[in-house]
Chain A
Amino acid sequence: MSNYFNTLSLRDQLAQLGQCEFMHASEFADGVNALKGKKLVVVGCGSQGLNQGLNLRDSGLDVSYTLRDAAIQEQRQSWKNATDNGFTVGTYKELIPTADLVLNLTPDKQHSAVVGEIVPLMKKDSCLAYSHGFNIVEEGMQVREDITVIMVAPKCPGTEVREEYKRGFCVPTLIAVHKDNDPRGEGLALAKAYAVGTGGDRAGVLMSSFIAEVKSDLMGEQTILCGMLQTGSLLCFDKMIEKGMDAGYASKLIQYGWETVTEALKYGGVTNMMDRLSNPAKLKAFDLSEELKVIMRPLYNKHMDDIMSGAFSAGMMEDWNNDDKNLLGWRKETGESAFENAQNTEQEISEQEYFDHGILMVAMVRAGVELAYETMVAAGIKEESAYYESLHETPLIANTIARKKLWDMNNTISDTAEYGCYLYNHACLPLLSDFMTNIDTDVIGRGMGLNDDSVDNQRLIDVNAQLRQHSVEKIGQTLRGYMGAMKKIV
């Protein structure tokens, strides 16, 4: 197998990278009908597997789980997840041959082995679904010709997929049909029904391609989503400690600060997040983020280039074959960081204080979102994809940090994201060391403490214009407008 993307002509590469289209609600009028009465068998019962399965069953579909023999015999966690939730569980041999739709929701690194094992067992003319196209795009998996291959990728961790569904909503979802495997032309209908089953149609569905999904997803998760928040957490915490601040306060400010400032991002983009600051603080955050963008741009470009060339996935697969030595070592390091182990203060921090005392955090979010977005768009990814994989997902990852700091974030995201996150972190920490020497508690920890909030009008106008006219703000406004939820709740 070889990297599928690299086998394509530049023309095909660009065509597939540039695919991303918001689907109108009327395209989902058939609901789950295309899958009604069909047998859905989920492979793997981790976070995505379990939670998507719960949603699909609650939408009236017939869902069961298949696990490796060993997982069943040893009653591993995946087996417990499935049986505790009242699902039928069986081996590959028992269930795969009965399936009309097989949902491969195992971790990326197992895909090659799993798909190699299940495809020979699959019924003729059945369908194989992924929630992430890594296996197809980066590993070049080739699936039997009679099988339809689709992707339905909810743009959230599995737990969110479930929680949002239970609230009567869901998370935005990318769907795609692998054009090399759509023998009967039914891929799109099946993907749409699957997306309705997880609730995705209520939050908005983007028609994408395997390639656009993989390349943008990798870029987003490594840089702004996980990497920037990880690096930012460590730097901001260490700075506050260095300046003699209380570790409990510093820890709390960071743990909940990302969630609070990105909540503003979710509702009104970078503009709204920056507007939550006082005018002098906004100008300060703007200057810091401009500086950060200059320093970090080469790093974002490098990540994008490595993703496009396949160097990133090749490196990661090497680590897979090396028993995850790097991944596990880095994971351990994260667990041992001073931030991770600090106890939060009991002291209340008001919503506004998270902004006022977290100016640098706001600056890092702005810089990271805009850089990731700009880099993706420059590489041929459509604005819609780039928006979802940068700005849109940031609050979701920030929520996981609010739960249990970096450990929980890295636990919730995929191993692939986690690997990329550490790569970014290790490169970004030294990159920002000079920048950080000039940082003081006025921008992280204590606030500016000004008696006079006056600013120069012309400068404020210029800064506001730059913020508002950024392309991520324009596409964001359009996409948020599509999502009834955002419009109504605000």
Chain B
Amino acid sequence: MNSIAIQNCSVSFSDSFLLRDISFTLELDQHWVILGPNGSGKSAIAALLAGFGELKAGSIQGLPSRVSLVSFESQRQLIERELDRDESDITDEIFEGTQVQEILLEDCVDSQRLERLIDLFEFRTKLDRGFRNLSTGETRKVLLMKALCSNPSLLVLDEPFDGLDVASTKILKSILEEFKRKHPIVLVLNRFDEVPDWVTHFVYTKSVSEGIVTYGGIAHVIARDNKLAMESLNQLVQLTKTDVFFPEADSSDAVPELNPVDPLVRMKDVSIAYGDKVIFEHLNWQVDPGQHWQVVGPNGSGKTCLLNLITGDHPQCYANDIFVLGFQRGQGESIWEIKQHIGYVSSALQWDYRVSINLMNVILSGFFDSIGMYQKATDQQTKIATQWLKLLAMDARWDQPFSQLSYGDQRLILIARAMVKHPHMLILDEPCLGLDDLNRQLVLALIDRICRGSETTVLYVNHHQEDAIDGIEQILTLGRG
């Protein structure tokens, strides 16, 4: 058998978590890394390879008999086993627990390797210690040594570098380097920059929740030599990390405050028509601070038109009763006074953004609500723009012309451009339009971040149910006019 073939597998791990419809083929000369957001099934896939979980459907073929798994879960199990053995409350004797030595020898096949590992990890003096008395990092090392000495035909390591100090990480990496020459390794990692050079394939997991049940699955399997996909994957991993923070607003040129009792938008009996052609009529709509809205409706129902009434780009905003971001329209306000509160992204904007300009300047132009840069940015603004580029994992490419970016990357940059000034309102008109699956997930991940992590109200237009965003609860449906 030269490969492990998982076909359409659904595997249950608990009442509330299942892997659904997993398929992949891992050749035995490959080394995979599994990446993805928390809770999307990374560890479950690792566990599945080690024979855990209850197979509900599908087939698994070619799984070697000797698979070693090191994970938080396996670490926890070993610690629990030790706790079970502790009968001191009955015997009234101090229980030191099983000695490290004993645990290491349990499934040791290659004692020569074990001796070497003990020296490398400086465990010689700790062999007679009770396993229970080790620190978390030390128990992790014990598990790693144990797994490596059992001579597995497949090694599965779930977050192996977590909790290891720098020196130990280095040692582990060199051992893996050696191991991978003979047998395949599957790693689960949270950080893209931890992925060793010899990894050949990247698996990206994603999950959906239906009621209380979460279904994990595989979104992408990408070979390392696919450069474009790899770049997007890097960004996706970056954006779905839990500890992402948005860069600060520009303190010296902040967007003016709005009166907190006013709605952000209030439309009364609004109608839009071109000649006899009515787009929509008698629309009443109010957007309050803190609400996120999704606007849905078929083509031609006036979704973009509605958004343009807010941004001031639709000329009939002057002929209707519209209150927007502190201004009753048509009372001598300028559109720039309104636009300063709004960040805006659409395909139309992307088409309009044809000026030859680099990524940095595109983001900076968000401070000035302009397409292209016509004013000099301050040092602080430049610093903020750099932080946004970093957030998108594009900081190394700041000087690249915008026009050379992939469609999806352009979209990300435009969202960052819309967000740099921390607007009161972010308007996204079909932000996923024309994007492939990976890029769509990237854009959605960023929007999701914004909905959850900032003071900005999001108005979001899209056609596709699968592009719904969890944080958006209000829905406005436009019918065909």
Residue numbers of A with Cβ under 8 A of B are 32, 36-37, 54, 57-62, 80, 84-87, 166-169, 202, 484-485, 488-489
Known A86-B317, A166-B313, A488-B361: A36·B373 in contact at CB below 8 Å: no
| Nearest-neighbor residue (CB-CB) of B331 within chain A | A60
Q: Is the CB of A168 within 8 A of B370?
A: yes
CA separation between A32 and B332, bound complex, in Å? 11
Instruction: Pick the contact of A60: B320, B333, B352, B361 (CB < 8 A).
Output: B333
Instruction: Return the CB mask of B411-449 against A: 1 if under 8 Å, else 0.
Output: 000000000000000000000000000000000000000
Task: Give the size of the chain B interface in residues (CB under 8 angstroms).
Answer: 31
CA separation between A365 and B61, bound complex, in Å? 70
CA separation between A32 and B274, bound complex, in Å? 30
Instruction: Pick the contact of B315: A36, A54, A61, A489 (CB < 8 A).
Output: A54
Known A60-B334, A168-B368, A489-B357: A84·B275 in contact at CB below 8 Å: yes
Q: Shortest distance in angstroms between B279's beta carbon and chain A's nearest beta carbon? A: 11
Residues in A whose Cβ lies below 8 Å from that of B365 = 168
| Nearest-neighbor residue (CB-CB) of B329 within chain A | A86
Q: Is the CB of A169 within 8 A of B372?
A: yes
How many A-B residue pairs have C-beta atoms within 8 angstroms? Tell me.
Answer: 68
| Nearest-neighbor residue (CB-CB) of B316 within chain A | A86
Q: Is the CB of B356 within 8 A of A489?
A: yes
Residues in B whose Cβ lies below 8 Å from that of A85 = 315-316
Residues in A whose Cβ lies below 8 Å from that of B372 = 167-169, 485, 488-489
Q: Shortest distance in angstroms between A56's beta carbon and chain B's nearest beta carbon? A: 10
Residues in B whose Cβ lies below 8 Å from that of A58 = 312, 334-335
Max chain B CB contacts within 10 Å: which of A59, A80, A86? A86
Q: Shortest distance in angstroms between B253's beta carbon and chain A's nearest beta carbon? A: 15
Report the 6 A-B pairs with minimum CB-CB distance, sorted nearest first. A168-B370, A86-B319, A85-B315, A167-B371, A60-B334, A86-B316
Instruction: Return the CB mask of B294-337 against A: 1 if under 8 Å, else 0.
Output: 00000000000000000011011111100000000000111111
Residues in A whose Cβ lies below 8 Å from that of B335 = 58-59
| Nearest-neighbor residue (CB-CB) of B312 within chain A | A58
Q: Shortest distance in angstroms between B403's beta carbon and chain A's nearest beta carbon? A: 11
Instruction: Pick the contact of B318: A86, A484, A488 (CB < 8 A).
Output: A86
Q: Is the CB of A84 within 8 A of B274?
A: yes
Instruction: Pick the contact of B374: A54, A87, A485 (CB < 8 A).
Output: A485
Q: Shortest distance in angstroms between A31's beta carbon and chain B's nearest beta carbon? A: 9
CA separation between A58 and B361, bound complex, in Å? 25
Residues in B whose Cβ lies below 8 Å from that of A87 = 315, 318
Q: Shortest distance in angstroms between A486's beta carbon and chain B's nearest beta carbon? A: 9
Q: Is B355 an interface residue (CB 8 A)?
A: yes
| Nearest-neighbor residue (CB-CB) of A483 within chain B | B374
Q: Is the CB of B275 within 8 A of A80?
A: yes
Listed A/B pairs (10) with beta-carbon separation below 8 Å: A57-B318, A58-B312, A59-B334, A61-B332, A87-B315, A167-B352, A168-B336, A169-B374, A485-B373, A489-B361
Residues of B264-296 contacting chain A, CB below 8 A: 274-275
Residues in B whose Cβ lies below 8 Å from that of A168 = 336, 365, 368-372, 374
Residues in B whose Cβ lies below 8 Å from that of A62 = 332
Q: Is the CB of B373 within 8 A of A489?
A: yes
Q: Is the CB of A488 within 8 A of B374?
A: yes
CA separation between A59 and B336, bound complex, in Å? 8
Known contacts A484-B375, A488-B375, A489-B355; 16 additional CB pairs below 8 A are: A32-B334, A58-B335, A59-B335, A60-B333, A84-B274, A85-B316, A86-B319, A86-B320, A87-B315, A167-B370, A167-B371, A169-B370, A169-B372, A485-B373, A488-B373, A488-B374
Residues of B374-388 contacting chain A, CB below 8 A: 374-376
Max chain A CB contacts within 10 Å: which of B275, B332, B356? B332
CA separation between A132 and B99, bound complex, in Å? 97
CA separation between A216 and B104, bound complex, in Å? 93
| Nearest-neighbor residue (CB-CB) of A88 within chain B | B319
Q: Shortest distance in angstroms between B267's beta carbon and chain A's nearest beta carbon? A: 14
Residues of B120-175 contacting chain A, CB below 8 A: none
Instruction: Return the CB mask of B379-409 against A: 1 if under 8 Å, else 0.
Output: 0000000000000000000000000000000
Q: Shortest distance in angstroms between A108's beta carbon and chain B's nearest beta carbon? A: 26
CA separation between A57 and B335, bound complex, in Å? 9
Q: Shortest distance in angstroms between A41's beta carbon and chain B's nearest beta carbon? A: 16
Residues in A whose Cβ lies below 8 Å from that of B361 = 488-489
CA separation between A86 and B316, bound complex, in Å? 5
CA separation between A167 and B370, bound complex, in Å? 5
| Nearest-neighbor residue (CB-CB) of B338 within chain A | A58
Residues in A whose Cβ lies below 8 Å from that of B312 = 58
Q: Shortest distance in angstroms between B334's beta carbon and chain A's nearest beta carbon? A: 4
| Nearest-neighbor residue (CB-CB) of A55 within chain B | B335
| Nearest-neighbor residue (CB-CB) of A263 within chain B | B356
Residues in A whose Cβ lies below 8 Å from that of B336 = 168
CA separation between A317 and B334, bound complex, in Å? 41
CA separation between A442 and B375, bound complex, in Å? 43
Residues in B whose Cβ lies below 8 Å from that of A167 = 352, 370-372
| Nearest-neighbor residue (CB-CB) of A484 within chain B | B374
| Nearest-neighbor residue (CB-CB) of B369 within chain A | A168
CA separation between A168 and B366, bound complex, in Å? 11
CA separation between A85 and B330, bound complex, in Å? 13
Q: Shortest distance in angstroms between A172's beta carbon and chain B's nearest beta carbon? A: 13
Residues in A whose Cβ lies below 8 Å from that of B355 = 489
CA separation between A272 and B316, bound complex, in Å? 43
